[in-house]
Amino acid sequence: MKLKATLSVLFAGLLAAAALATGPARAQEQAPTALTGTLAKARETGAITIGYRESSVPFSYLNARKEPIGYSIELCRALVTAIEDAVNKSLTTKWVPVTSDSRIDAVASGKVDLECGSTTNNLERQKRVSFSPTMFVSGTKVLVKKGSPIKSFRDLAGKKVAVTAGTTNEKTLRDLSERFKLGINLQVMRDHAESFGLVKSGQADAFATDDVLLYGLIAQDAAKADYEVVGDFLSYDPYGIMYRKGDAQLVKVINDTFQVLAEDGEIERQYKRWFLRKLPSVESINLPMSAQLETIIQTMSVKAE
C-alpha cells in the first residue's frame, strides 16, 4: 500500500533525524524513551479504538456493508500506521460508533483513542480534549426544501428548525435566536440523518448544521432537485481528529504525520477522492477545496525548524 509505505519511511526518517540531532555519541548513550499514554496502551493491548460517525458524509459514514468509510476515516488510518511505527507493533483497529452528543465523553473517558468524524475544534472543547491540525473548514448553514421562503437566518423567526444534539450548530442557533429575538423552535435530534428526516417529513422547516454535511446528506439521498442550502455562514468551524488531552507522545505522532501527509500531497488526494468524485453508493458532493483550506495545508507541509 503506497500510503502506508510512504508513512513508514518518512516517519522513520523523522525519528532518525531527531536522534541524530543530539549527536552520535549522545544518541548511543540515551536509552529508548519509554512509551506513555495512548502509545503505551496501544503497545500493551495491540489495538487502537476509533470512534466513527454513521451519517457524516463524506467524512465518516457507513457503506452498504455497514463499514466506516470517508475522508476522516482515511486520515485516521494513516495515523494508525504512524502509531504502529512508533510502538513497533502491528495493531488491530477496533471501531466504535459515536454521536455528536457522545463523542467528546468517549474520547475523554478513554472509550475511543481517536475520534474520526466531523468535529469542530474550539476553545471550549480544548478544555477536555485535543485536536489534530485542521483537516477541513466549514460553517453553519441552513437546509430547506426548494421553494421555501427561508433564505437567511432572519427568516427562521418562529420556525421549527432541526439541529443535532451536541453540535456547535445547536449553540449557534440558540445564540442567534436569543440575540435577534427570533423565537426559533429548535428540534434537537440524535444524529444528522434524524435531523434531515424532520425536514423530509415536513416536521421541521429547516435543518441547520455545517454546510458540507448538508451537501453530503443531499448527495446521499440523490435529492439535489428537492433541497437547497441557503444563507450566509453563521459560524466558523475548523475540523480536526479528536484525541485525549495531555498525551505528549501522541501529539508528536499526530502532528508529524499530518505534516508528512500534507508534504506528500496525500491530504489533497484524499480530498479529491471524497469531495470531487462519485462516492460509494452516493453522488459526488462536487465541492472544490476552499482557498482557506489550501493555505492551511500548504502551511502544514512546511517542516518546523
Residue 185 lies in a domain: yes
CA distance 194 to 171: 18
pLDDT tens readout for residues 18-69: 444 444 444 344 445 799 999 999 999 999 999 999 999 999 999 999 999 9
In this structure, the answer to whether residues 121 and 199 fall within a common structural domain is no
CA distance 286 to 171: 28
In this structure, the answer to whether residues 172 and 290 fall within a common structural domain is no
In this structure, the answer to whether residues 246 and 98 fall within a common structural domain is yes
Label residue 4 by pLDDT band (50, 70, 90). Answer: low
In this structure, the answer to whether residues 11 and 109 fall within a common structural domain is yes
184, 190, 193, 194 alpha-carbon torsion, rounded to 10°: -60
pLDDT at 289: 95
pLDDT tens readout for residues 196-218: 999 999 999 999 999 999 999 99
Domain final residue, candidates 230, 256, 274: 230
Averaged pLDDT score across all residues of the chain? 90
> With contact defined as beta carbons under 8 Å apart, do 58 and 70 qualify?
yes
In this structure, the answer to whether residues 244 and 131 fall within a common structural domain is yes
CA distance 84 to 160: 48
Domain final residue, candidates 206, 230, 254: 230
pTM of the model: 0.85
Residue 262 lies in a domain: yes
In this structure, the answer to whether residues 6 and 120 fall within a common structural domain is yes
In which element (H, E) is residue 162 found? strand 160-164
For residues 155-167, b (16+ Cβ closer than 10 Å) or e, as one string?
bbeebbbbbbebb
Residue 123 lies in a domain: yes
Q: What is the CATH number of the domain that holds 156?
A: 3.40.190.10
> With contact defined as beta carbons under 8 Å apart, do 105 and 43 qualify?
no
Domain final residue, candidates 198, 230, 262: 230
CA distance 279 to 245: 33
In this structure, the answer to whether residues 175 and 259 fall within a common structural domain is no
In this structure, the answer to whether residues 9 and 77 fall within a common structural domain is yes
> With contact defined as beta carbons under 8 Å apart, do 142 and 207 qualify?
yes
Total number of domains in the chain? 2
In this structure, the answer to whether residues 52 and 126 fall within a common structural domain is yes
CA distance 84 to 57: 28
In this structure, the answer to whether residues 155 and 187 fall within a common structural domain is yes
| Structural domain of 176 | 140-230
Residue 305 lies in a domain: no
pLDDT at 134: 97
> With contact defined as beta carbons under 8 Å apart, do 210 and 123 qualify?
no
In this structure, the answer to whether residues 118 and 255 fall within a common structural domain is yes
Grid cell of 285 as nine digits: 458532493
Residue 82 lies in a domain: yes
CA distance 114 to 179: 36
pLDDT at 222: 87
In this structure, the answer to whether residues 272 and 128 fall within a common structural domain is yes
The 3-state secondary structure of 56-90, one letter per residue: ECCCEEECCCCCEECHHHHHHHHHHHHHHHHHCCC
